[in-house]
Amino acid sequence: MSNYSKYCDDELVKFVRESKKSVKDMAFCALYDRYSAKVNAFCLYKLGRSSIATEEVFQQTWVRFYNSLIAGKEVQTVLPFLISIAGNLAIDHYRSQQLRRKHIKEDVESEVLEEIALPGSLQGVEQNELGEMIQTAINCLEGIYKDAFVMKRIEGLSLEEIAEIAGISISAAKQRVSRATNMVRTILAPYVKDYIEV
Amino acid sequence: METTDYKEKLPDFIDGLLSREEEKAMYAELAVNDELLTEYKVVKSILDTAASSSGTFAPSAALTNSVFAAVGIEGATPTPFFRKIIQPKYALHYFVPLAASFALIFAVLWNNKGEKVSEPSENKTQIASTETVPAAPAISEESKLTTYNKESLPPREKIFTQMKEENPPQENADLAVNSVEPDLNMVSSSDFAADEYVDEDFDEFAEYESDYLLASHNFENNFYTVRSPQLTMANSNFGFLPGHFDPDEVTCQHFFNNDNFVVELKNAIYFDAENKSAPSAKFNNLCVDVMYKVNKHLFVGVDLRDESFTVESVPPEGIETFPIKSNFNSDENMVDLNVTSVGVIVRYIIPLRYKSLQPVADLVAAKCSKGVVCRGGVALSYAPSNGISFTLGIEYSNLIYKDGYDYASTAPKYGINYGIAYNF
Which residues of chain B does A184 touch, with a Cβ-Cβ cutoff of 8 Å?
46
Answer yes or no: do A29 and B68 touch at CB < 8 A. yes
Please report the pLDDT score of residue B55 as a whole number: 64
Compute the distance between CA of residue B20 and CA of residue B6 in angstroms, rounded to an integer.
14
- List CB contacts (< 8 A) between B10 and chain A: 182, 185
B404: enclosing H helix or E strand: none
Return d(Cα B396, Cα B64) in angstroms, integer. Answer: 35
Stretch 355-394 of chain B: residues touching chain A, C-beta under 8 Å:
none
* Main-chain dihedrals φ then ψ at residue B227, nearest 5 degrees: -140, 145
Positions in chain B short of pLDDT 50? 75-85, 113-258, 273-280, 315-332
Decide: residue A74, CB within 10 A, 0-12 exposed, 13-18 middle, 19+ buried: exposed
Q: Spell out, as residue ranges, where chain A has pLDDT lower than 50.
A: 1, 105-127, 198
Substitution target from A38, A85, A153 for chain B, most B beta carbons within 10 A: A153
Least CB-CB distance to B318: which of A18, A128, A195?
Answer: A18
Query: What is the structure's pLDDT at B5?
Result: 80
C-alpha torsion angle, residues B380, B383, B387, B390 (rounded to 10): -50
* Distance to chain B for A21, nearest Cα, Å: 8
Measure in Å the smallest separation between the Cα of B67 and chain A Cα atoms: 5
Nearest to B363 by CA among B373, B355, B354, B371: B373
CA gyration radius for chain A?
18
Q: With residue A142 as reference, give the H or E element that holds it.
A: none
pLDDT, one tens digit per residue, over B274-314 is 434 344 456 778 899 999 888 777 889 999 988 877 776 65
What's the pLDDT at B97? 67
B contact test, residue of A22, A69, A89, A136 with most B CBs within 10 A: A22
What's the confidence (pLDDT) of residue B129? 31
Q: At what angle do helices B20-32 and B3-15 cross, to 10 degrees?
A: 120
d(CA B71, CA A88): 20
Question: What is the torsional sign of CA A78, A80, A81, A82?
Answer: positive
Long-range contacts of B415-418 (CB under 8 A, 24+ apart): B415/B268, B415/B269, B415/B270, B415/B271, B416/B268, B416/B269, B416/B392, B417/B266, B417/B267, B417/B268, B417/B269, B417/B287, B417/B377, B417/B379, B417/B391, B417/B392, B417/B393, B418/B266, B418/B267, B418/B390, B418/B391, B418/B392, B418/B393
Locate the domains of chain A by residue range. Answer: 1-120, 126-198
Classified as helix, coil or strand, B321 is: coil
Partners of residue B318 in chain A, C-beta under 8 Å = 18-19
Quick one: fold of A126-198? Arc Repressor Mutant, subunit A (1.10.10)
Report the distance separating Cα B316 and Cα A14, nearest Å.
Answer: 9
Q: Which CATH number is associated with domain B90-108+259-423?
A: 2.40.160.20
B contact residues 268-307, partner A, Cβ 8 Å cutoff: 281
Of B71, B319, B324, the CB nearest to A66: B71
> Which of A40, A59, A122 faces B66 most closely, judged by CB atoms?
A59
pLDDT at B289: 93
The size of chain A, in residues, is 198
| Choices 3.40.50.300, 1.10.260.40, 1.10.1740.10, 3.30.1330.20: CATH for A1-120 | 1.10.1740.10
Would you list the domain boundaries of chain B?
3-48, 90-108+259-423, 123-251
Contact with chain A for residue B420, Cβ under 8 A? no
Tell me if B259 sits within 8 A of B293, measured CB to CB: yes
pLDDT for B377: 92
Q: What is the ipTM of this complex?
A: 0.73
Burial class (CB in 10 A: 0-12, 13-18, 19+), A40: buried
> Rg for chain B (alpha carbons), in Å?
34
B70 vs A59: CB contact, 8 Å cut-off?
yes
